[in-house]
Structure 1
Amino acid sequence: MKSQTGPLKPDVARPEKEKLGRAFWYLWSGTCLNRVGQLLPAFFTLYLVHQHLATVETAGWVIGAQGAGSIVAALLGGVLSDRFGSRRTIIYSQLITALFAGVLSLSMPVWGLAAVAFLAGCTTTVHRPAGAALVAQTVPASQRARAYGLLYWAANIGVSVAPTLVGAVMELAPRFMFILNAATSVTYALVATRIPEVSRRGDEGDGSPRKSWRLSAKSAAAPFLKVPIAPFILLNFLISAIYLQCRSALPVDMVAHGLSSGSVGLALSVNGILVVVLQPFTSYFSGSEKLLSKFFTASVLIGIGFGLHGVWHSQIGYVLSVAVWTLGEVVLAPLGTSLMAIWAPPEEQGSYQAAYFFAWNLGLAVGAPVGLWELENLGSTTFWSSTCALALIVAIGHIALAKSHPYGETDE
């Protein structure tokens, strides 16, 4: 009898790692495409002014209307996703976005541009909570954090490419910017047709009645009235108001400390580069375990990074400070949507994800004017120190909230 010299091998096959699925990768591709051709506020402003459609002041109102539409859409997207399905919401929102892009290319009074920009801001943003809900509905629970991180990565790849592409398109002809927006929106809609629709309670044939609009609105409001969702949303609003100072107070403060526009752009570009490089790796190791420690770490890194802006005013200082809070951003990116997916009822994933996106959009709308006022009146050192202190309060807030409502560490 021949003796066996090699190690014994079990007959049971090694379990394969759960995959994200084709639906996710269609969503990933569409998200990247959407961001590549998005209507960027900076280039939209240049178009309005250079085409003599608005003054600098009135162009600000048009851009503000576009931002207001995004805030409204954060909630609307959740309602539509829960009522009609994530796939349909994505498809129709992108087709309507393409239509509004064409309308914006036409000459019209400023009030008309503002009205259309508001609607365009709505349709451009509606797909985001719908996409987040789709991840919760189609991706295995153990892979959701990874999926949300990769989806954030897709958006940042698009954001990184968009300025260069849109700038080149505008050099050819300013109105081509709207054609690009329409083309990428239609392409995303076509890609989304490949996503299978998830069955929802209330669909025809499942034996249950579809929600009325009144109940849909009630579902949209529910996350803001429930514990632990409401305090969690507040904590994320506060951290978003801090993080989004990178779009308002930070560039102003950099220039005030002697940096040129080119140096400001170079320092801020570190954020996009690090996100694109690091997010795939952090997403691979993401999971729903130890979410509390990850929220705490992200909040502390963001606080320290922005706090350093008050004491480190050289070019290299700004670059390193941006790198610190970018690490916090990379850690934080998949956490909020992952935890909302755990806490949300299956039939209300869209509404709960929408509440999270609403908090982030509101953080920009409120944080930008408040931050600029505080920077001017309190001074650089005091202002950035206060942002650091607030971020540390948010970190402690997560610990306090998790004591009574665990952050999903034992869910998987």
Structure 2
Amino acid sequence: MYWYLWTGMLINRVGGFVALVLSLYLTADRGLKPGAAGLVVGLYGIGGIAGVLLGGVLADRWGRRPTLLLAHFGAAAFVGGLALTRDIPAIAALAALLGLMHSMPGPAFVAAIVDVVPAADRNRGFNLQFWAMNLGMAAASVIAGALAEVSFPLLFTIDAAGTLVTAVLLLWKVHETRPATRTMGGPAKGGLHTALTDRAYLAFVGLSLLLAVVTMQSSTILPLAINADGLRPTVYGSVVAYAGLLIVAGQLFVPKLIDRWRKGTTLAVANVFLGLGFSCVALASGVPGYLVAATIWTIGSMLAAPPNAAVIAELSPEALRGRYQSVFYLIFPAASFIAPAAGGVSLEFLGDWHWVICGGLGALAAAGHLLIQPARERRVAQAEKERLAVPVAG
């Protein structure tokens, strides 16, 4: 079952490249000015925020499989609509709906992986998931760039086809994975508010937001630093491609390295590497310096992926896994706003000290993970003890 989910995520990521070129399509093909195009892309993002929350709720209420099928068939329909319409208001509405559908599968996919992968193997399972996502994103970037030069309608059509392939695979091979209720008294109580008021979980989510803000410097502020050093835009593309290749080449070796480490310790080390890598940007002035910095922060990203997902799985009640995943996924749109908004001002007024501050945020997050680790481990141990003490409904 895991491998069908993994394959579905890979195909979906390879085929889901419309979002990468949406702004280019709106300006180059539809003739919108950058401000108007940004507004439409912003609607895609707003749809994504709603989709994350809706996807988590539906994954718990309807089930993982129905949520995944709705999201993929819906996304294919809306991408097809983008290929056929030339009306700007219609494009804006479709962009918002597409953002909704693109974000819905995330919580359901991860909740399904938690359902089917034993706790002892989750580090490896989530590591392979992270690897597939990065491999798919790298392929999508190449395909999107090539197709955008040929035909945007063709690009939309191929995207829709890839999404349909994923939907058919899920329909054919993936059955419902949502756990049956363990208690004799019926479904577990709780809802989205349970995750939003879970202090231990929110502490972890808050530290993960710091990590995401630092990580997103590579896609928001780093191009400005490279440009300020008088380097060509192709240098930025090369640095990002190099980081992606490092993940594809090295991610599969991470589980063996960290299997014996405590999750909080692993996350602390990961944040130190991330912070140190972006701090090195302050010293970089040429391609070698940026490649060294990228190497260091990419090691941090690689180390963080498996324990991040495993901690979410540990803290999530069985009946609320989708909702807990959706709350975690909110950090990405939040970081997408904070990283460029705060980072741009910081770089403008502080110059290279901006990158030193990024290093400080990494160190702060590392300390936070070490601080909350004992209490979180006690909670997980107590929850497991209670789970084993409850008879399975029969």
Q: What TM-score comes out, normalization by structure 1 length?
A: 0.87
Partner of 1:253: 225
d(CA) in 2 for partners of 1:286, 1:120: 37
Partner of 1:4: none
Residue of 343, 346, 353 corresponding to 1:371: 343
Partner of 1:155: 133
Deviation at 1:257, TM superposition (A): 0.9
Deviation at 1:201, TM superposition (A): 4.8
d(CA) in 1 for partners of 2:9, 2:63: 17
Deviation at 1:170, TM superposition (A): 2.9
Deviation at 1:343, TM superposition (A): 1.2
Q: Is 1:120 matched with 2:98? A: yes
Q: Is 1:296 matched with 2:268? A: yes
Residue of 200, 211, 215 corresponding to 1:243: 215
Please list the CA deviations of residues 337-383 of structure 1 after superposition, one character each: whole Å capped at 9, or x if unmatched.
Answer: 1111111111111111121111233211222222112111221x111
Please list the CA deviations of residues 302-361 of structure 1 after superposition, one character each: whole Å capped at 9, or x if unmatched.
Answer: 000011111222210001101100000000012221111111111111111121111233
Q: Is 1:197 matched with 2:176? A: yes
Amino acid of the residue matched to residue 124 of structure 1?
A: H
d(CA) in 2 for partners of 1:77, 1:199: 14
Residue of 318, 334, 359 corresponding to 2:290: 318
Q: Is 1:38 matched with 2:16? A: yes
| Contact 2:46 2:96 (C-alpha < 8 Å) held by counterparts | yes
Structure-2 change in CA distance of 1:281 and 1:409 (3 Å): farther
Bigger shift: residues 191-200 or 26-35: 191-200
| Contact 1:241 1:364 (C-alpha < 8 Å) held by counterparts | yes
- Give 3-state SS (helix, strand or coil) of 2:348's partner: helix
* Segments of 4+ moved more than 6 angstroms: 206-211, 407-412
1:91-130 correspondence to structure 2 within 5 Å = 91-130=69-108
Deviation at 1:264, TM superposition (A): 1.4
Rg larger for = 1
Q: Tell me how many residue pairs correspond in the alignment.
A: 382
Deviation at 1:42, TM superposition (A): 4.2
Please list the CA deviations of residues 151-183 of structure 1 after superposition, one character each: whole Å capped at 9, or x if unmatched.
Answer: 111111111111221233233322111111111
1:63-142 correspondence to structure 2 within 5 Å = 63-142=41-120
Q: Is 1:402 matched with 2:380? A: no
Please list the CA deviations of residues 271-321 of structure 1 after superposition, one character each: whole Å capped at 9, or x if unmatched.
Answer: 100011111121455548511110110000000001111122221000110
Amino acid of the residue matched to residue 113 of structure 2?
A: V
Partner of 2:391: none
Partner of 1:393: 364
Deviation at 1:198, TM superposition (A): 2.0
Q: What TM-score comes out, normalization by structure 2 length?
A: 0.91
Structure-2 change in CA distance of 1:331 and 1:225 (3 Å): same
Structure-2 change in CA distance of 1:245 and 1:199 (3 Å): closer
- Give 3-state SS (helix, strand or coil) of 2:177's partner: coil
d(CA) in 1 for partners of 2:205, 2:32: 37
| Contact 1:236 1:360 (C-alpha < 8 Å) held by counterparts | no
Structure-2 change in CA distance of 1:79 and 1:289 (3 Å): farther
Determine what percentage of the aligned residue pairs are the same residue.
27
Q: Is 1:348 matched with 2:326? A: no
Deviation at 1:118, TM superposition (A): 1.4
| Contact 1:147 1:283 (C-alpha < 8 Å) held by counterparts | no
d(CA) in 2 for partners of 1:288, 1:72: 38
- Give 3-state SS (helix, strand or coil) of 1:28's partner: helix
d(CA) in 2 for partners of 1:251, 1:54: 24
d(CA) in 2 for partners of 1:36, 1:57: 29
Amino acid of the residue matched to residue 198 of structure 1?
A: T
- Structure 1: stretches of 5+ with no match in the other structure: 1-22
- Aligned-residue CA RMSD (Å): 2.3
Bigger shift: residues 114-123 or 319-328: 114-123
d(CA) in 1 for partners of 2:162, 2:28: 24
